Every structure is written in structure tokens, then in C-alpha cells.
Structure 1
Amino acid sequence: MTTQEVELFLETFQTLIMASLTPDGAPHASTAPYVRVGNDFYILISTVAQHGRNLLSNPNVSLLFVEDESQCTQPFARKRITIEAIASEMSRENDVYISVIESLKARFDAELVTSLTQMGDFHLFKLSPKSGSVVMGFGKAYRLNENLEVLTQIIAQHQRGHGNG
């Protein structure tokens, strides 16, 4: 497994699956379109939506990029990348904000993105990776660093005897 293979897999997605935490600590799963700049993922979401409120109250988030089920040959070994990240809200006055909004317009419906940015409840969040993992099949699991570079293979000893004795 190479860092380039991780990059190529990530390029196949337009949306990410996100697990955030509600203010009372309950997990909440959602999805959002994104653009990636460097190693950071940017999402434009509403704070009326639960995931937007979650990111404002707790910046810890987990991202999932998973192989389409229609392309998957073995559901138990479905290809996926999981990234632990920190969310931060981007100020509208920030130069990065303007640049990322232009990237969102280029990748998605420009008119819709423009409309969303004019709504007061839509905020741009930067999701900065801290660590991650990639699974490309049985025995093909690897740790990723904050730059999404492949570090080491995850090797675990499977145990027998759990279940029906």
C-alpha cells in the first residue's frame, strides 16, 4: 500500500461520511459534499442541521470514505479510509474561505454554492486530519499520519473460540 494509492482512492469521492458528536455526546452520522485542499477537507454546511451544530460545539470528527457497495466483492473487507480530524470554522473574511468557495463552485453547481454562501446559517468548516487508517482488503490495513501518508501495516492476531464455545 502506498500513499499514492490512498490519494487515488480519495479522488474517487465527491462526498464524505462524517461522524460528529452532539452537544450531549451522542454520535451522529451524516454526509456532505467536500473539496480537498492539501490534506484538509472543506465542507459548506448549515448550522440548522445537526452536524453543523455538532461541529460548532465539539471539533472532533471522524471521516469515512468507503467503496461503493455495487463495486464491492467482499462486504467484510470493503475498501475504506477512516480519518480522525479536527473541525474549525473558516471566517468569511479569510482569503482561504474565498479560494475554497471558488473550488466548491468549480466542482459542484456554482449557482447553488453561491446561493448557500449568502445564507447566514451556512458555514465553511475545515476538517484537518490527525490520523487515520486504510483498509484495502483482508490483511491489507495500514495506519495513516496527519498528512495521510501510509505509516505501518496494522497486524493483529485473530482469536478463535468466541461465540458458541
Structure 2
Amino acid sequence: MENRLADELEEFLMTRRTLHLSTLDQDGHPYASYAPFAKGDDCLYVLLSDIAVHGVNLKNNPKAAVLIVEDESEAQTIFARIRVNYQVQAQHIPFDAGAEYDEGIDCLQKKQGDRVLNLSQLSDFNLFKLTPLGGRFVKDFGRAYTIAGQSLTGESIEHLRDGHKPRASVSR
């Protein structure tokens, strides 16, 4: 079952084009945003501008969280959209990093198109590699899984068995 879940998660990631990104500002306050992304080998790549708050935040604090979620128009129920979230460690990959930079830009260009090549030539755009530190994959009510390890599909995926519980009966 674990291999099947990893395959489903991999397929889900391949069908998404954007992620929600939660970063921390210099005072430790959370900041929510979104960005186009591409999947690398057990990482995610984003290309962010210094003009954008999330780009500055990641340069100053590499701890972040990512949410990749099923589109509302595709969801069977709005309360149980398919989603995966990760705690990530961000690494700024400088323009002069050679093959490492080229790999990230190539992944982004294949996923997001040629605009990536244009943006990558602007000095205010920075490539970030987001390495997962663990996460959660939710497919529906009662079908939530913990992703353990530093990979997108996890070194293990375990079903969360402590599901929703009814409230004690209360008269209203």
C-alpha cells in the first residue's frame, strides 16, 4: 500500500503547477503567498523575486511550509480537497552555482514554460530549492497520511488512524 500511496502522491505533484508558501518575516510572523513550482529529485524548486516578500523572507530564514492543493473546481467536496503539505528547508541556489542552478531552472522551464528562462536572467530573481523535512498527504475524510523523511514521497507513509470523533451529545 505504501508504494501505491507514493505513486499517487508523485502523480498528484506532477499535475499541480503552483504551491502555497508560508514563510517567516524578520520578526517571526508568518507570511502566506503562492508561487509556481517544479518538482526535482526529492525537492521542489521556486524562482522568487527580491521584490516579493516571500523571496526576502526565505533569504533571511530558510524554514518554511508548503501546501499543494487540488483545484476547487476539481474537488468532489470543498471540505476534503486532495492536498499535501511539507515542512521544508529552503536553500538559495545562486546564479553562479553552475550545474546546480541549471538543474533547478531546467526543471522549472520544463514545468512552467519559457518565461522561466527570461525571469532567471533578471538579477532580482533567485532560485530556491525546497527540501522536505516531513509532511502530510490528505486524500479525503479519513484518508490522511504522515510523510516521514526528507523526500517528497517519504521514506515511509503512515495512515493517521485517529480520525474525526463525534461530539458528546449536547442539547441546544
Q: 1:71 and 2:78 equivalent?
A: no
* 2:108 alignment partner AA: L
1:34 aligned to which of 37, 44, 51:
37
The alpha-carbon distance between structure 1 residues 89 and 162, as it changes in their structure 2 partners (threshold 3 A), is farther
Distance 1:161 1:16, change over 3 A: same
1:4-153 map, 5 Å: 4-94=7-97, 95-110=99-114, 112-145=115-148, 146-147=150-151, 148-149=153-154, 150-153=156-159
Shift of 1:107: 2.7
Q: Distance in 1 between matches of 2:69 and 2:113?
A: 24
Q: Report the Cα offset of residue 115 of structure 1.
A: 2.4
In the TM superposition, what is the alpha-carbon distance from 1:121 to its structure 2 partner?
1.1
SS of equivalent to 1:84: strand
Kindly state the Cα deviation for residue 161 of structure 1 after the two structures are TM-superposed: 3.9
8 A contact 2:22–2:33 mirrored in 1: yes
Q: TM-score normalised to the size of structure 2?
A: 0.86
1:74 to partner: Cα distance: 1.8
- CA displacement 1:113-134 (0-9 Å, x = unmatched): 2321222111000000000001
With over 3 angstroms needed to count, the CA separation of the structure-2 counterparts of 1:156 and 1:100, relative to structure 1, is same
Q: Which moved more, 1:125-134 or 1:68-77?
A: 68-77
Partner deviation per Cα, 1:28-86 (whole Å, 9 max, x = no partner): 11111111111110111101110001101111111111111112122222211111101
RMSD: 2.0
Q: Which runs of 5+ in 1 are unaligned?
A: none
Residue 93 and residue 70 in structure 1: after superposition, are their counterparts in 2 closer, same or farther (change >3 A)? same
Secondary structure, counterpart of 1:87 in structure 2 = strand
In structure 1, the residue matched to 2:161 is 155
Q: Using the alignment, how far apart are the partners of 1:162 and 1:130 within structure 2?
A: 40
Q: Per-residue deviation at 1:164?
A: 7.7
- 8 Å CA contact retained: 2:38, 2:112: no
